[in-house]
């Protein structure tokens, strides 16, 4: 049987691990003191603190193999977890990957997945240092990311204060537009399809925001309104977004017109763009990667909130939330 025709059931768990390890060992970084091949990895943590986040992708829920290559899935799985590290103002350093898959999965697909994970990790100089495999009727890729903050203070969701500006690094609505394009049987335009398949989080902007004393920050995974609400609720404030500062993506607006859809549903609640939303004090020197999109104000009894668009509550969908029935 040709190697390209082999499945996981043909080769077994240990051969699968060997194939994955060949990819990951080749990309190991100096910060990995003990990597693949032992019971646990050992990482250097120069700041004395580890920043840790986990994310999972489930076939049929977060990706489809007929829409995305294995390399795409690997890149996206790594990006989703490392984006959370960047949102704390830290640098991703290492990944642990758990793969649950049916025995019928082609070995070549698993190898390409590993190459995608390693490719995305290399963007920030991180390494895949271990993980786990298991047989499952559903294909699931789970990534735990580790990061280091250096000598910077970490940025949480709870520090926004009235008077702060609200800033965005990244684009809005592209991933949602790409998902709509794919779900309707199209593959163009490539720019929005790529945004769904392989997001490009602005990793460096997270570090820059921390260095510039951002008061709060979050990555945009569930949609702008939902993630702004996380900051507003954690900080006890109101976030007022300015619609005139949010649009302007020609590809997204063109797709909305073509499909007869409201572009604001993509921009405000689309999700999976993996940009960074941050707040800065008025006197801060805001990094160039960020553009202003709103203001933080005081939470007052009887006032609408905690997230407003042009001073009023958005009346449409509020963003993605698991375990909720469709509206």
Mind giving me the DSSP string for 149-161?
A: -TTSPP--SS---
pTM value is: 0.90
In whole angstroms, what is the distance from residue 250 CA to residue 266 CA? Answer: 13
At residue 1, does pLDDT exceed 50? no
pLDDT tens-digit profile of 205-248? 999 999 999 999 999 999 999 999 999 999 999 999 999 999 87
Question: Residue 292: phi, psi to the nearest 5?
Answer: -70, 140
The answer to whether 47 and 151 are in contact (CB under 8 A) is yes
Element (H, E) at 217: strand 216-219
Residues of the chain with CATH 3.30.1330.10: 3-148
**pLDDT the model gives residue 326:** 44
User: Cα separations (Å) of 15 from 9, 18, 320?
Assistant: 10, 5, 38
At residue 257, does pLDDT exceed 80? yes
pLDDT band at 151 (very low <50, low <70, confident <90, very high): confident
Within a 10 A sphere around the Cβ of 165, how many other Cβ atoms?
Answer: 19
Exposure class string for 226-249: b at 16+ Cβ within 10 A, else e: bbbbbbbbbbebbbbbeeeebeeb
Q: How far from the centroid of its chain's Cα atoms is residue 104's Cα?
A: 29
**pLDDT the model gives residue 49:** 84
The DSSP letter of residue 184 is T
3-148 placed in CATH 3.30.1330.10: yes
- At 191 the three-state DSSP class reads helix
Mind giving me the DSSP string for 229-288?
A: HHHHHHHTEEEEE-GGGT---HHHHHHHHHHT--HHHHHHH------EEEEE-TT----T
pLDDT tens-digit profile of 32-86? 767 666 667 787 777 778 899 999 999 999 999 999 999 999 999 999 999 999 9
Residue located via tokens 């294995």: 70
Question: Do you find a cis peptide bond into 151, omega within 30 degrees of 0?
Answer: no
Can you tell me the mean pLDDT for 14-36? Answer: 73
In whole angstroms, what is the distance from residue 73 CA to residue 233 CA? Answer: 32
At residue 324, does pLDDT exceed 60? no
Element (H, E) at 86: helix 70-86
Arithmetic mean of pLDDT over the chain: 90
At residue 2, does pLDDT exceed 60? no
CATH architecture of 165-309: Alpha-Beta Complex (3.90)
Nearest Cα neighbor of 130 from 229, 24, 59 is 24
The answer to whether 130 and 35 are in contact (CB under 8 A) is yes
**pLDDT the model gives residue 317:** 55
**pLDDT the model gives residue 269:** 94
**pLDDT the model gives residue 248:** 76
Exposure class string for 177-191: b at 16+ Cβ within 10 A, else e: bbbbbbeeeeeebeb
The answer to whether 228 and 241 are in contact (CB under 8 A) is yes
pLDDT band at 321 (very low <50, low <70, confident <90, very high): very low
Residue 133's DSSP bridge partners are 99
Residues of the chain with CATH 3.90.650.10: 165-309
């Amino acid at each position: 049987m040709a190697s390209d025709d082999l499945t996981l059931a043909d080769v077994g768990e240990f051969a699968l691990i060997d194939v994955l390890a060949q990819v990951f060992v080749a990309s190991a970084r100096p910060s990995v003191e003990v990597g693949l091949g032992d019971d646990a990895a050992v990482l250097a943590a120069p700041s004395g603190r580890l920043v840790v986040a986990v994310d999972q992708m489930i076939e049929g829920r977060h990706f489809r193999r007929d829409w995305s290559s294995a390399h795409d899935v690997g890149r996206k799985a790594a990006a989703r977890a490392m984006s959370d590290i960047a949102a704390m103002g830290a640098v991703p350093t290492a990944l642990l990957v758990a793969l649950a898959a049916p025995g019928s999965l082609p070995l070549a697909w698993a190898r390409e997945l590993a190459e995608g994970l390693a490719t995305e990790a290399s963007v920030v100089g991180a390494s895949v240092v271990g993980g786990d495999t298991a047989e499952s009727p559903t294909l699931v890729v789970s990534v735990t990311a580790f990061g280091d903050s250096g000598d910077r203070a970490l940025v949480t969701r709870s520090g926004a204060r009235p008077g702060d500006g609200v800033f965005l690094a990244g684009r809005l609505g592209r991933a949602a537009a790409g998902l709509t394009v794919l779900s309707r049987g199209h593959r163009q335009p490539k720019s929005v399809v790529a945004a769904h398949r392989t997001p490009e989080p602005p990793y460096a902007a997270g570090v820059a925001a921390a260095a510039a004393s951002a008061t709060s920050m979050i990555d945009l995974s569930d949609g702008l309104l939902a993630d702004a609400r996380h900051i507003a609720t954690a900080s006890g404030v109101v976030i007022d977004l300015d619609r005139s500062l949010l649009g302007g993506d020609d590809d997204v607006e063109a797709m909305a017109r073509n499909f007869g859809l409201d572009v604001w549903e993509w921009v405000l609640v689309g999700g999976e763009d993996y940009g960074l939303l941050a707040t800065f004090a008025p006197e801060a020197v805001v990094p160039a990667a960020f553009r202003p999109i709103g203001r933080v104000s005081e939470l007052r009894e009887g006032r609408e909130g905690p997230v407003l668009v042009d001073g009023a509550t958005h009346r449409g969908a509020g963003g993605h939330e698991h375990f909720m029935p469709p509206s």
